[in-house]
Chain A
Amino acid sequence: MLEATDITKAFGGVRAVDNVSVAVREGTIHALIGPNGAGKTTFFNAISGFTFPDHGRVTFRGTDVTRTLNWRRIVMGMGRTFQTPSVFPELTVDENIRLGVRAHAKQAFQLRAPRGAAAAAVDARVDELLGFVNLAAHRGRLVAELAHGSQRLCEIAMSLSTEPVLVLLDEPMAGLAEAETDRIMAVIRDLRQRLGLTVFFVEHNMRVVLALADRITVLDRGKLLAEGSPQEIARDDAVRRAYLGSEVLERV
């Protein structure tokens, strides 16, 4: 689905990501973990086109997208969320999602609001996405007024509005309480089970990673430290030393 080969990205003299290769297979939930400053978000930015890598190659569904503009990657079937929910705070939940649905339906450029079947199709899709993330009751509220977890769900729904096949989630649980974390975990599971999507996510919370991921990639100080199944990662001594507290892994 997504192959990143020998990705390097430096800021000044610091190599934030150094020669990292990751392959995300179709239909999997793949996690990217590592201590603070490991280069996870930089790597995410490089593969999603937020920035371009200095070296290396990114292919998505067999096409080289290393230098493809970010909005084109979305059209090609990528979706992405950010560490801090990237939403339109002064628009309602409905409008936030509607913008994405209209973008996908090629209506965003129109100077007249669509009517008839075109409008009904957009309405139906907005309802469907609101239902998927369980935000239908809040559709008329401004996103800025929502709780943090609901803002994240709104952002996930927005990233789904463009009908992606691969969803990149940057720390979807950051700053959330336990109950909200469980809600988002359920949504991520649904992304694969109900929608058949491939998920690649960055996460700090090991409970989440071990419960969700089929495959885990570990970064440390910009370099690839290990890659494997949750069990393999849990047994890896280098990973234990660099990042994971042994008490977490003993429970696996």
Chain B
Amino acid sequence: MKVRRDLVLFVAIVVLFACGPLISPLVHIDLSILSEVLVTTLAVLSVNLLLGYTGLPAFGNAAYFGLGAYGAALTVTYLHVDFVTAVLAGAVAAVAGALLLGPFLLRRRGIYFGLLSIAFGQVFYFIAYRYTDVTGGEDGMNFPRPPFGPGIAQVSINQVQFYYISLVVFVVAMIAFRAVVRSPFGRTLIAIRQNEARVRYLGLDTDRFIFVALLISALMAGVSGALFGLLINFAYPLELDWHQSGNFVLMMILGGAGTIWGSLIGALIYVIGKDIISTITPLWQIFLGALFVACVLGFPRGIVGSISALRRIASDDPEDAASNEAFDVSAPIEVGRGV
């Protein structure tokens, strides 16, 4: 029953997004903004996997996002690769970053995981900022959007085509993400969030689970960053900055931590809200800040989390209760992990 309802909702949303090029002029929102929503959703999902599902403060995911953007920018600029290869290069750069940082992050929990994530992210930020000869430093890297693929696929990509590429990646990512969080592996991540000590006392090495979650998260953030770079034809140090990480966390909380749709809703509100409010006032961040405060105080489970909690009360369906993954972000996260 629930599976069918999810499927109908998913198909409806994909169809709605597929009509994006028709809808965007009607609502006066540029198609590139809708592409940005889809691309950003991947980065929010990457934070959601670590923070929303596993309970690890992923305050440095912009590092993987930025590595993705620079991975694409550098390979397009210096190696003249095609679009697909550039995205793959971004993904590889981000996963390589996670492989490098993972061993240091693995044994940290709670605020220490968060702080170390931020610190490592800033290292990449300063490398991009200082290594001017290669990365363009503070000015960033302007690069052209390359043709789609090699050989026969060597077609240029306009804004509409980019939008549909983003939509395909988005659909694949959402399906894959759902499969991961519903798999035995994903259920174990949720269990780690709720009580890591107990997971260890079920004979599981939680560090191993967290490491794989980190790699999956970096992969998603890397693809997101690469697509974002290719969308705006630009990579710049602020993509790696901790402010950017904070924005992803904010979007996740707006939508609902530990919910799949929450990541889309959070990205949608943030990206479109920023676009609309920033044309009215340069102080758009004040409005988003107020929205964030209102959300944490009024809907600590985020928009999607609050809706599913209401639906659960209304329907009294135990299946809904069991599958409600949203959790209250204002509640403390249990840290204890034993030795």
A residues at B contact (CB < 8 Å): 48-52, 69-72, 74-75, 79-80, 82, 86-92, 95, 98-100, 102-104, 107-114, 140-142, 158-159, 161-162
Contacts and interface: CB of A to CB of B under 8 A. Distances in A.
Interface of B: 179-180, 182-185, 187-188, 190-191, 194-195, 197-206, 208-209, 212, 318-319, 321-322, 327, 338-339
Contacts of B209: 108-109
Nearest to A102: B184
A72 B206 CA distance: 11
B184 A86 contact: no
A141 B318 contact: yes
A95 B191 CA distance: 10
A103 B204 contact: yes
Given A50-B339, A109-B184, A111-B183, A88 B191 contact: yes
B194 A89 contact: yes
5 contacts: A92-B322, A99-B188, A99-B199, A104-B203, A108-B185
A25 B202 CA distance: 23
Given A69-B339, A111-B185, A50 B202 contact: no
Nearest to B324: A90
Contacts of A113: 182-184
B202 to A, nearest CB: 4
A114 B319 CA distance: 20
Contacts of B212: 109
B131 to A, nearest CB: 37
> Top 3 A-B pairs ranked by shortest CB distance?
A74-B203, A71-B200, A103-B202
A114 B184 contact: yes
Contacts of A80: 201
Given A92-B322, A140-B322, A107 B339 contact: no
Contacts of B191: 88, 91, 99
B202 A100 contact: yes
Nearest to A105: B184
Given A88-B195, A140-B322, A142-B322, A71 B203 contact: yes
A86 B203 contact: no
Given A100-B202, A109-B208, 13 more contacts: A69-B205, A71-B200, A74-B200, A74-B201, A90-B327, A92-B318, A99-B187, A99-B191, A99-B199, A109-B212, A110-B184, A111-B183, A113-B184
Given A52-B339, A87-B195, A111 B203 contact: no
Contacts of A107: 184
A86 B198 contact: yes
Contacts of B195: 86-89
A162 B187 CA distance: 17
Contacts of B200: 69-71, 74
A50 B184 contact: no
Nearest to A112: B183
A37 B55 CA distance: 33
B331 to A, nearest CB: 10
A79 B201 CA distance: 7
A71 B205 contact: yes
Contact of B184 (A104, A108, A142): A108
A55 to B, nearest CB: 16
